[in-house]
């Protein structure tokens, strides 16, 4: 079965498995796990931040950022289709007591003018704006890369109003690869950033939250409150360290495979590629086949390929480390049969 549902299905490499087995460990609550410490130090250096925190998931990292930056009664500004708003189970309101103010972006990028106008003024009727959240790459915009210029402009607005900026950078390394820029260049334009180790990088679990030393000290307590404090966690940090140091440089291969897949799919009658393919995500509209996305995905599965529904007529395909160019060709043939 060729699995193109998501890059989250990527299996850990043999080296990751060996690293987990051989990892030197200690109690991380005491700060005594050398593998976790090395992972956090390495991540902070790569992202250009003072410190970093190993967390169990991207959602946990984003929510810790919201809880640390803001307080109950605040409002956070974020893009209308963002992961924090769309896919995190209302955690910002459930845990943080904050409300969300969404802005419709263009390919996942909010207009800085709209962000400025969304910031609340001093009025007893309004909540205070506590945080601005960006997402790069933007999942529901089809893996779109948000430009450095856009992030820089929003950061400027935020600084003028003394509001922190957080980047949900679950796939920030994909954005860095697409722009051919160091990840630190993208992370420079925020106060904090969360990056996933368990998506395209292939680690079995975990994300990184990075920021100032003061912020990470506070975030560590929020991690504990959320049940994210772990003991001999070097066993899961070790694969993450391999992912962080060895898997970033190959992400362009996934991007090339995605562009190749999109080109081939665009020539199939009844299929329409609806996103600009910047990275490793392709979104196809199947309504021209006179079936809905669920029916298409079910038929495709019978041909040996897994894909994901992304709306009533949209189907998402995601390339990753475990899918070779040869398997992409096999998937294309299966999609042609399904569409025929």
pLDDT tens for each residue of 75-91: 999 999 999 999 999 99
The pLDDT assigned to 340 comes to: 85
Kindly report, residue by residue over 237-291, the tens digit of the pLDDT: 999 999 999 999 999 999 999 999 999 999 999 999 999 999 999 999 999 999 9
The pLDDT assigned to 52 comes to: 98
228 vs 230: CA distance, rounded Å: 6
CATH class label, 12-246: alpha beta
**Given pLDDT bands bounded at 50, 70 and 90, which one contains residue 132?**
very high
Percent of the chain scoring above 70 in pLDDT: 100
Q: Which CATH fold would you assign to the domain 250-339?
A: 3.90.1150
The pLDDT assigned to 208 comes to: 98
Residue 304, sorted as left (phi over 0), alpha (psi -120 to 50) or beta, turns out to be: left
Domain layout of the chain by residue ranges: 12-246, 250-339
pLDDT value at 211 more than 90: yes
Kindly report, residue by residue over 183-203, the tens digit of the pLDDT: 999 999 999 999 999 999 999
Kindly report, residue by residue over 28-71, the tens digit of the pLDDT: 999 999 999 999 999 999 999 999 999 999 999 999 999 999 99
Report the 3 state secondary structure along the chain: CEECCCHHHCCCCHHHHHHHHHCCCCCHHHCCCHHHHHHHHHHHHHHCCCEEEEECCHHHHHHHHHHHHCCCCCEEEEECCCHHHHCCCCHHHHHHCCEEEEECCECCECCHHHHHHHCCCCCCCCCCEEEEEEECCECCCCCECCCHHHHHHHHHHHHHCCCCEEEECCCHHHHHHHHCCCHHHHHCCCCEEEEECCCCCCCCCCEEEEECHHHHHHHHHHHHHCCCCCCCCHHHHHHHHHHHHHCHHHHHHHHHHHHHHHHHHCCCCCCEECCCCCCCEEEEECHHHCCCHHHHHHHHHHCCEECEECCCCEEEEECCCCCCHHHHHHHHHHHHHHHC
Q: How far is CA 332 from CA 107, 119, 170, 268, 277, in A?
A: 26, 46, 27, 10, 17
Mean pLDDT over 325-338 rounds to 98
Kindly report, residue by residue over 135-171, the tens digit of the pLDDT: 999 999 999 999 999 999 999 999 999 999 999 999 9
Average pLDDT, the chain: 97
The pTM of the full predicted model, rounded to 2 decimals, is 0.96
Phi/psi of residue 255, nearest 5 degrees: -65, -40
Kindly report, residue by residue over 1-19, the tens digit of the pLDDT: 999 999 999 999 999 999 9
The pLDDT assigned to 339 comes to: 94
Nearest 10 degrees: Cα torsion 125, 128, 133, 139: -20
Neighbours of 106 (CB within 10 A): 12
**Given pLDDT bands bounded at 50, 70 and 90, which one contains residue 224?**
very high
**Strand order of the sheet with strand 314-318?**
272-273, 281-285, 314-318, 308-309
17 vs 186: CA distance, rounded Å: 30
């Amino acid at each position: 079965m060729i699995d193109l549902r998501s890059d989250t299905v990527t299996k850990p490499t043999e080296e990751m498995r060996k690293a987990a087995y051989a990892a030197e460990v200690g109690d991380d609550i005491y700060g005594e796990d050398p593998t976790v410490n090395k992972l956090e130090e390495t991540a902070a250096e790569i992202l250009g931040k003072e410190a970093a925190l190993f967390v169990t998931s991207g959602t946990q990292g984003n929510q810790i950022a919201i809880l640390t930056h803001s307080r109950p009664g605040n409002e956070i500004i974020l893009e209308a289709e963002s992961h924090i708003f769309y896919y995190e189970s209302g955690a910002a309101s459930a845990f943080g007591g904050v409300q969300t103010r969404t802005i419709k972006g263009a390919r996942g990028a909010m207009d800085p003018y709209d962000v400025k106008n969304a910031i609340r003024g001093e009025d007893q009727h309004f909540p205070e704006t506590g945080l601005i959240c960006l997402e790069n790459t933007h999942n529901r915009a089809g893996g779109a890369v948000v430009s450095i210029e856009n992030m820089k402009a929003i950061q400027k607005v935020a600084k003028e109003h003394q509001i922190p900026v957080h980047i949900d950078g679950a796939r920030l390394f994909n954005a860095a690869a697409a722009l051919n820029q160091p990840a630190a260049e993208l992370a420079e334009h925020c106060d904090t950033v969360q990056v996933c180790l368990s998506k395209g990088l292939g680690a079995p679990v975990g994300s990184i939250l990075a920021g100032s030393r003061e912020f990470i000290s506070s975030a560590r307590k929020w991690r504990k409150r959320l049940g994210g404090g772990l003991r001999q966690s070097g066993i899961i940090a070790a694969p993450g360290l391999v992912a962080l140091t060895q898997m970033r440089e190959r992400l362009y291969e996934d991007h090339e495979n995605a562009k190749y897949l999109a080109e081939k799919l665009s020539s199939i009658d009844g299929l329409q590629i609806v996103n600009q393919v910047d990275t490793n995500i392709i979104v196809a509209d199947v309504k021209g086949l006179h079936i809905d996305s669920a029916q298409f995905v079910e038929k495709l599965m019978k041909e040996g390929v897994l894909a994901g529904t992304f709306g009533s007529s949209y189907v998402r395909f995601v390339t990753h480390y475990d899918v070779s160019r040869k398997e992409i060709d096999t998937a294309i043939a299966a999609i042609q049969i399904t569409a025929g």
